[in-house]
Structure 1
């Protein structure tokens, strides 16, 4: 093997960037012997894909329909050395090829879901005459700037209530009443959603449990206009039963928001992301749950009134500078709750995915003091 080391090395130790930031680094190539080449190029690609199938009809008329969609966001290509036409040589030893790319502002956040994804990745190519090219892939997370300070509703308190009765028309019980209140609409990852909730069970039924949940709903849009939604519970707290005639008030409980993609997935037209805090009360026996939902917004830049409560420890930039109040604080990082997923089709003959072919998107989180 002439090539003993082939890496894309980023200045940022975590491959996570805000839209509008500059990605700087180098391609490092170590050769055991002289290498013939026409060019070494580095490309940064970004796109979104939606894909799912549905079955329609039955028997001989049963058919499978595939729904899909695609959007392209980035396709930047740099020639690090060579022009792709003339044959050149690289001597044995180590070679560094620096690069710098400034990201556009209007990029949607990296996202991986059940039926779609938004991905950004570097592809480095060594064009070798009369031989198979060498390709290297490195996936990065890009986070769009969702500034809660630009949303006048982000600071507004929210409340919702629900009522449910049980039994038939001629023999109904007293009502089950529930109220859920939040101090505001807008949050960022790493922040705790505090809430107040009250349940009044005036029915003759035992309420077996009550729970408070943070729910993520992903909406996928096919090119035909067909939509598909996937709803999943991110967090859940549960309390014990409520006897007939009794009441229960939730207290001293909050929902700590884990690393998540921001709401709406702005700048992406084929995937939307929504978040809901929902109070749910489960009756014993036959009967549907009483659900009291409130939609919330998860952004990437916190409200200014909270800056003094953010812990900037370990948040300094690469030169040790501290964040300024007008810019989003540099993030700390955690794996997204979806877990690691393989990138299909990235690895193959002549291709390498840096990091073993597995990719776990990461999103900025903030650590709030007291």
Structure 2
């Protein structure tokens, strides 16, 4: 490691979460085992940037002229980028080098995040949104020392109380006829529904469904899966035609028993806890977007053609006030002191690291940073809902799934 023993960026108070328009304060800490006199200056750069990237293989020509090329697809967005000198001089300026004695040195910095709509930080397979401070010890005719510190932004809010569809269930129904050799058996009918369509991290999604099997095949089981799908946009070599990629992540899964031929099966109020995750849409970003949905599926034996339903949902950063109040005082619970009126809004959220926890962030050069590996995970608003996911406090049972023709539990 040589003379440089410690080189790090520290935010005041250990805070790494900021809002658009706020001031960020901290200092660069340097510890030297011996005096150091080869420094031209110490520079700070702070920036927010979104980027998508992947490679595709293209084949051109034929015969002996056939060749394969790896093509890079990428797009970038810059939300802000500024730099400042906190010691010494810039490359364009003349002057003497800086001398630092052995021991500890602290150089304060302060900058303001632009007061513009900014997206939440995000880490994906084919793209990312990052906010960071980069400190550099500029040494002429030598390799520079660099260190980075990533931070989080409270991005564009998604208030579910402003979305009329959020309190309404997300529902779907369909039917499929499975053919057996030359004969077609009766249809398999399915319906599924969530208790509403707008949720915040920390809240529980309740899913119900119903299967009417009029076929001669067995329904092995029924499943519901909670998915996040991220859509990425990029251009060939950054400026050519546009391509798209998707990343689909399973956030939770529940299984129920199937049924035999000419029988029915139900899937009654299964809970899915919404983890710490970015909101739907990822507003403020034009090269990535996020959607969430429940996929309800009936696994039909002996055929790859299963019956699937998709239930779109919205993940917000501000929960429905009525949902929080209902969770605080569920039906049937004894309330010793009844409030005079429902709360106007829920308590403020905590900010939790994203599902999966911190991951290693490689340096731009592909080598380790000056002082080992950097671990990071974005943070998102997370609410503590009373009785979240507790089967003893499910939502009301009425209208949990739409009626299906022939369903004895829901006659026409």
CA contact (8 A) 1:343 1:359 kept: no
2:171 to 130, 149, 159: 159
Match of 1:119 in 2: 130
Match of 1:315 in 2: none
Is structure 2 residue 77 aligned with structure 1 residue 68?
no
Deviates more, 1:292-301 or 1:205-214: 292-301
Does the residue aligned with 1:222 lie in a helix, a strand or coil? strand
Q: What is the number of equivalent residue pairs in this alignment?
A: 356
Match of 1:32 in 2: 33
CA contact (8 A) 2:11 2:26 kept: yes
Shift in alpha-carbon separation, 1:284–1:340, aligned structure 2, 3 A: same
Does the residue aligned with 1:329 lie in a helix, a strand or coil? coil
Match of 2:370 in 1: 352
- The alpha-carbon deviation at position 294 of structure 1 amounts to 1.3
Is structure 2 residue 275 aligned with structure 1 residue 258?
yes
CA contact (8 A) 1:43 1:124 kept: yes
Measure the CA separation in 1 of the matches of 2:229 and 2:370: 34
Does the residue aligned with 2:261 lie in a helix, a strand or coil? coil
Match of 1:211 in 2: 223
Measure the CA separation in 2 of the matches of 1:277 and 1:127: 52
Match of 2:331 in 1: none
CA contact (8 A) 1:214 1:276 kept: yes
Shift in alpha-carbon separation, 1:9–1:152, aligned structure 2, 3 A: same
**Structure 1 length-normalised TM:** 0.84
1:228 to 236, 245, 258: 245
- The alpha-carbon deviation at position 309 of structure 1 amounts to 7.5
Does the residue aligned with 2:258 lie in a helix, a strand or coil? coil
Does the residue aligned with 2:286 lie in a helix, a strand or coil? coil
Shift in alpha-carbon separation, 1:103–1:51, aligned structure 2, 3 A: same
Shift in alpha-carbon separation, 1:152–1:11, aligned structure 2, 3 A: farther
2:85 to 79, 104, 112: 79
Which string of whole-angstrom CA distances, capped at 9 and with x for unpartnered residues, describes residues 225-274 of structure 1?
22222323221111222111222222242111122222222111111111
Shift in alpha-carbon separation, 1:307–1:39, aligned structure 2, 3 A: farther
Shift in alpha-carbon separation, 1:199–1:338, aligned structure 2, 3 A: farther
Which string of whole-angstrom CA distances, capped at 9 and with x for unpartnered residues, describes residues 189-245 of structure 1?
221111221122122211111110111212111222222223232211112221112
Match of 1:101 in 2: 111
Does the residue aligned with 1:100 lie in a helix, a strand or coil? strand
Which string of whole-angstrom CA distances, capped at 9 and with x for unpartnered residues, describes residues 128-184 of structure 1?
355432211122233413222333332232211111111169622122111111232
Measure the CA separation in 2 of the matches of 1:303 and 1:35: 57
Measure the CA separation in 2 of the matches of 1:22 and 1:192: 35
- The alpha-carbon deviation at position 306 of structure 1 amounts to 4.4
Aligned residues: CA RMSD: 3.0
Specify every segment of 5 or more residues in structure 1 that has no aligned partner in the other structure, as ranges.
Answer: 312-323
Match of 2:356 in 1: 337
Measure the CA separation in 2 of the matches of 1:114 and 1:106: 24
CA contact (8 A) 1:336 1:361 kept: no
- The alpha-carbon deviation at position 345 of structure 1 amounts to 2.5
CA contact (8 A) 1:258 1:337 kept: no
Is structure 2 residue 207 aligned with structure 1 residue 195?
yes
Measure the CA separation in 1 of the matches of 2:80 and 2:122: 15
Shift in alpha-carbon separation, 1:77–1:219, aligned structure 2, 3 A: same
Match of 2:51 in 1: 49
Does the residue aligned with 1:165 lie in a helix, a strand or coil? strand
CA contact (8 A) 1:108 1:144 kept: yes
CA contact (8 A) 2:43 2:85 kept: yes
CA contact (8 A) 1:22 1:100 kept: yes
Shift in alpha-carbon separation, 1:142–1:163, aligned structure 2, 3 A: same
CA contact (8 A) 2:292 2:312 kept: yes
**Structure 2 length-normalised TM:** 0.76
Measure the CA separation in 1 of the matches of 2:326 and 2:208: 22
- The alpha-carbon deviation at position 62 of structure 1 amounts to 5.9
Larger radius of gyration: 2
CA contact (8 A) 2:47 2:80 kept: yes
Shift in alpha-carbon separation, 1:301–1:80, aligned structure 2, 3 A: farther
Does the residue aligned with 2:165 lie in a helix, a strand or coil? helix
Specify every segment of 5 or more residues in structure 2 that has no aligned partner in the other structure, as ranges.
Answer: 236-240, 329-342, 388-412
